[in-house]
Structure formats: structure tokens, C-alpha cells
Amino acid sequence: MVSEPLIGGFVSNQLGIWIAAFFTLAIYSFLYRDNVVYKFVENVFIGVAAGYLVVIIFFNNIKPDLVVPLFTEGRLVLLIPLAMMLLVFTRIFAKVGWLSRIPIAFVVGVGAGLAIPNTMMAMVVAQLGGTANIQFTSPDVVVGSLAGIRLLTGGLILLLGTIAALIYFFFSLPHEGPVGQVARVGTWVIMIGFGASFGYTVMARISLLIGRVLFLMRDWLMIID
Amino acid sequence: MKLWDKLTSLDRRWTFLAMAIAAILPFLVPMGLAIQPTKEVRAVYDAVEALRGAGKPLVVSFDFDPGTDAEIGPMAHAVMTHAMKRDVPLIVLNFIYTGTALAELRLQKVADAFPDKKYGVDYVFMGNKVAFANVMLNMSADLRLSYSTDYFGTPVDEIPMLKGVRNYDDFGLVIGLSGTRLVEYWIIYAQEPYGFRYAIGCTAVSATDMYPYIQTGQTIGLLGGMKGAAEYEQLMVESGLMGALGDAARGLDSQSLCHLVVIAFILMGNVAYFAGRRRG
């Protein structure tokens, strides 16, 4: 639906846009000082998010994966997860609360069993392989050319930077002499990494502000296209 | 009170005001700064382009909520538009419940621009699943193990475009779009064990953490934050797939001006601090 201007050629006539604009400005009002409107909006957000969670989880997960197959198609094996789900709620009652540990233990066990080997392979083994296979030359690049020097330099920085950063976290030897000097290089590598992360973080936060500014100026006030 | 003392005790609300002005001004007076696509963004673009005529779908894991929509929304819009323009079948998944309605809304907005595209034939929305690890593992065998229906309750076997689409072998490319660790979970539970083509679109905050996955080849490319989205839009415009740059590119002028304001305040604060210390 296209929003038509409301006041003097400006301002949206859609109720949803006005509500979103009010909530946006109410949240930003905290930047001036804490106030009752901000608190109201914050609480509304939490309430809406909780209600929304229940609806989405039920209609996208519980209904198609449990209710329909169990009660319509008669897949009785699903009584097991249903029982596990109900056991979680025994926490409400002190006397039988210990029963909730059964589904929690199941979830933790399955979760750990799935996560540990897969994480080791994807985050440790693959990264080790990636570091060991750093490209210093390439068949596509002439050795000694600008591209070749760039590839070689990049590979060396990556390799030496990784080793230096790892030595910084190696505490079985005192950080003195050559080990200390390499660890110091490692500190610089880590600081550069933090600097890049900080720069990206600033960019991310500003992006969120820009998104809201665009919404207020275009969709609500309609002063830009 | 000396100037240095005033600067070090400046009410922080002045900085907020300066940032607001810097964010608003470029929308009224565009600066039109150049956008240079990086090789990481170009790699994602080329991977989507390569799906043209391949008959395999693009799978977009739409795992962000309104809180990060400003950054990831434009890249989702650009990627889905790209798929529609090139007649690449599109499958949209969602693992974050706060983004489910947003995913539907964004997909519908893109689809509305292509009246010839039909739901279930050219694109499909599978809805939300919370147990993402199970779904990712199940899809190595058959997506039907996790999805009996789509978001609207249509049985998967009655959806024309999903006939013959069972597992990762049948996917052309998977793009994870998220401001959370879900982009990494895709690597842990799916890409690394099953080795399909995977690309990441994430918020700028997590972009630096994603570069190691490019080095290992676990992701073919990276769209990092609003800048990554703007670069993708630039590539779309250059190839004639979009008539004009989108929201991300529009926001980059504001981004640049805000960065200048941040740098100015950092410099001012440091100069004032050291000048004040020298005076004792």
C-alpha cells in the first residue's frame, strides 16, 4: 500500500508508520535523559516480543512438528518429545521439580555431542589448515611483479601475525628476551585486530541510526523520496 | 573555565546532536561519494550470477530482526532481487523468530516488483524453525525431515519448485544473512561437513570475525554491514539489474559524515586531555 501525504503534502497517513515513528522517537528520547515515555515503550517492546515468540514458535514449530503429526497422523513416537516438553514444566512444582533435569540433560547431551566435533572441525582443524596453506605464490601471478610481492607480503603478515598472536597467549614461558619480543609483536597484531573490530562496530551502530533516520524522513515525514 | 576544560567536560548530548545532524544532512544534500565494490562482495555477486540457468535454487537464511534490518535488510533486498532478475529459484529460511515477519515482508516486497513470479514456483518461504542445528543437519539428507510444510501450511511435496530439491547437493548457493552467530553455525553444522557453496552477509560488528572463513574457503565471499550491501547495490546498478542505488548506498554518505564527526570528537577529546595534563 502506498502511503499518501497527510498534512500539507507531508507526513504519512498510515497508523502503523505513526506508531513506529512514535516508538522510534520515544527510544531515542533516552539520549536526552531517562523518562517515563522511554520506560513505557521499553516495556511494551518486551511484552510484544514475548507474545510474538509464543505465536511464532507455536505455529511454525510445535503445530507442524508435534501437534499435527501426533494427533492427526497418529505418529505415537512423538509422545516422547511431548513428555520431555511437559517434564520441563515440572520446575513449577518444588516436589517434582527434579524431573525437569531429564529433558535438560538430554538437550545438553545432544547439543554437546553435535557441537563439539563439528566445532572442532570447522573452527580449529579447518583454520589450522587455512593457516598452513597460506598462499605465498600463485600460478596466475608473476614472481617479482607488484601482484606477486603483494601476495607474498600478505602471506608473510598472515603467517607471522598468527604465530606472534599465539605466542602472546603462551604463558608457559616468561615473556622475556626473544619470546617477549615476539609476544610484543603479537600484542600489536591483536591491537590492530581490535582496532578493525572497533571501526566496524562504530559503522554498525551508525548504520542503525541511519536506518531510523531514513525511516523517519522518508516513510513518516515524507520529505525525501 | 578554559577551552580545554570545557571540551573535557562537554555534555555528551552535544555529541548526540552532532551525530544526528551528520546522519540527517546527507539525505537532504547528497554528497554522492563513490562506491568501490571489494573482491569479497564481488565474489558473492558472481556466485549468484553463476546460478543463472543452472536450475538450482538460491537459499537465503534470513536470520536478522528489525534491530539489524538497517544493515542487513538492504543486502537481503539486493540478493533476492538479483535472484528474481536472473530467474533463479529462491528458498527463504528463518531461524530467528523476531525476524520471521520481517522475512515474509521483505520477500513479499521483492516479489511484488516481479508480477510474473509465482509463489511456490519461483520462490518459497519455509518459515521459522528454532532448532537450527537439527535443521542444518537434516538438510544434508532431506529438507523434508525438518519441513513438512512451508510458512503458509502448504505441504512441501505440493510445492512445485521443491520437487527434486532434497539436500545440499540440490542447492546452488546458501547465503546466511544474520547479525548473530548463526552465520557461523551454518559453517559448523553444514558447510564444513557437507561442503556446499556458502556466502555470508553480516553486520559490520561481526565482519572482522568472518574474514578467517574466507581464507579457509568456508565462505566464498562476505557482505559486511551497510557498506557491503551498498557495494552489492553498486554491482547490480553497473550490470543494469537495478535502476538506481538502494537504501544502503543512500546511507553511505551519512555514514561517512558520521565517521568524520566521530574522528573529530576523538581528536578533540585527546587534544584536550593531553593539553590539560601538560598544564597540570
The answer to whether B63 touches B180, Cβ cutoff 8 Å, is yes
Of the pLDDT bands very low, low, confident and very high (cuts 50, 70, 90), residue A1 is very low
**Are B236 and B271 members of one domain?**
no
Q: Indicate whether A6 pLDDT > 70.
A: no
C-alpha cell at B247: 537504501
Q: Which of residues 164-193 of A touch B (CB under 8 A)?
A: 193
**Are B25 and B111 members of one domain?**
no
Closest partner CB to B130 (pick from A57, A64, A122): A57
ipTM above 0.90, yes or no: no
Closest partner CB to B23 (pick from A60, A204, A209): A209
Each residue of B207-218: pLDDT tens digit?
Answer: 999 999 998 999
State mean pLDDT over B177-190. Answer: 96
**Are B99 and B24 members of one domain?**
no
**Are B26 and B137 members of one domain?**
no
B193 to A49: CB separation less than 8 angstroms, yes or no: no
pTM: 0.89
- Is A114 contained in some domain? no
- Is A106 contained in some domain? no
- Strands in A40-176 per DSSP E: none
State mean pLDDT over B159-172. Answer: 96
State mean pLDDT over A88-112. Answer: 95
Indicate the residue among A74, A90, A105 that finishes a domain: A74
Instruction: For chain B, report the end-to-end CA distance as a whole number of angstroms.
Output: 15
**What angle is formed at CA A24 by the lines to CA A19 and CA A29, rounded to 5 degrees?**
125
Indicate the residue among A36, A54, A74 that finishes a domain: A74
pLDDT at A2: 47
pLDDT at B197: 97
Of the pLDDT bands very low, low, confident and very high (cuts 50, 70, 90), residue A5 is low
Of the pLDDT bands very low, low, confident and very high (cuts 50, 70, 90), residue B16 is very high
- Is A212 contained in some domain? yes
* Lowest mean pLDDT, pick from A69-83, A122-136, A157-171: A122-136
Residue of A nearest to B23 (CA): A210
A204 to B208: CB separation less than 8 angstroms, yes or no: no
**Are B264 and B235 members of one domain?**
no
Phi, psi torsion values for A210, nearest 5 degrees: -60, -40
Which CATH number does the domain housing residue B126 bear? 3.40.50
B259 to A206: CB separation less than 8 angstroms, yes or no: yes
Give the residue among B229, B16, B72, B28 at the shortest CA–CA distance from A218: B28
**Are B200 and B272 members of one domain?**
no
A124 touches B at CB < 8 Å: no
β-strand pairing of B198-202 with B222-224: parallel
State mean pLDDT over B258-263. Answer: 95
CA distance A111 to chain B (A): 9
Residue of B nearest to A66 (CA): B148
The answer to whether B192 touches A118, Cβ cutoff 8 Å, is yes
**Are B52 and B71 members of one domain?**
yes
CA distance B23 to chain A (A): 6
**Are B114 and B152 members of one domain?**
yes
**Chain Cα centroid distance, residue B52:** 21
Residue B235 burial (CB count, 10 A): 21
Q: Indicate whether A122 pLDDT > 50.
A: yes
Each residue of B56-103: pLDDT tens digit?
Answer: 999 999 999 998 999 999 999 999 999 999 999 999 999 999 999 999
Indicate the residue among A55, A74, A93 that finishes a domain: A74
From chain B, pick out residues whose CB is under 8 angstroms from the CB of A49.
Answer: 98
Domains: count for chain A: 2
From chain B, pick out residues whose CB is under 8 angstroms from the CB of A61.
Answer: 128-131
Higher pLDDT, A1 or A208: A208
- Is A8 contained in some domain? yes
**Are B124 and B186 members of one domain?**
yes
**Residues shown for chain B:** 280
B259 to A217: CB separation less than 8 angstroms, yes or no: no
Question: Which range is most confident: A12-16, A176-180, B57-61?
Answer: B57-61
The answer to whether A207 touches B255, Cβ cutoff 8 Å, is yes
**Are B71 and B181 members of one domain?**
yes
- Is B250 contained in some domain? no
C-alpha cell at A106: 538430554
A40 touches B at CB < 8 Å: no
A19 touches B at CB < 8 Å: no
**Are B172 and B266 members of one domain?**
no
Each residue of B110-131: pLDDT tens digit?
Answer: 999 999 999 999 999 999 999 9
- Give the integer Cα–Cα distance in Å for B132 and B138: 10
- Is A110 contained in some domain? no
Each residue of A148-167: pLDDT tens digit?
Answer: 888 889 889 989 999 999 99
Q: Render A117-148 in DSSP notation, one character per residue.
A: HHHIIIIIIHHHHHHHT--S--TTS-TTSHHH
From chain A, pick out residues whose CB is under 8 angstroms from the CB of B212.
Answer: 127, 130
From chain A, pick out residues whose CB is under 8 angstroms from the CB of B17.
Answer: none
Structural domain of residue B162, as residue ranges? Answer: 39-244
CA distance B225 to chain A (A): 7
A115 to B133: CB separation less than 8 angstroms, yes or no: yes
pLDDT at B280: 65
Domains: count for chain B: 2
Q: Share the mean pLDDT of chain B.
A: 94
Q: Which of residues 190-209 of A touch B (CB under 8 A)?
A: 193, 196-197, 200-204, 206-209
* For chain A, percent of residues with pLDDT exceeding 70: 96
Q: Indicate whether A142 pLDDT > 90.
A: no
The answer to whether A13 touches A4, Cβ cutoff 8 Å, is yes
pLDDT at A141: 78
pLDDT at A9: 55
CA distance B64 to chain A (A): 13
Q: Share the mean pLDDT of chain A.
A: 91
Q: Which of residues 191-220 of B touch A (CB under 8 A)?
A: 191-193, 203-209, 212, 215-218
State mean pLDDT over A73-84. Answer: 95
**Are B117 and B22 members of one domain?**
no
B262 to A202: CB separation less than 8 angstroms, yes or no: yes
CA distance B250 to chain A (A): 9
**Are A138 and A67 members of one domain?**
no
From chain A, pick out residues whose CB is under 8 angstroms from the CB of B38.
Answer: none
Higher pLDDT, A136 or B175: B175
- Is A181 contained in some domain? yes
Closest partner CB to A203 (pick from B151, B188, B204): B204
A107 touches B at CB < 8 Å: no
Residue of A nearest to B67 (CA): A208
Structural domain of residue A2, as residue ranges? Answer: 1-74
Closest partner CB to A127 (pick from B100, B212, B225): B212
Give the residue among B50, B58, B56 at the shortest CA–CA distance from B81: B58
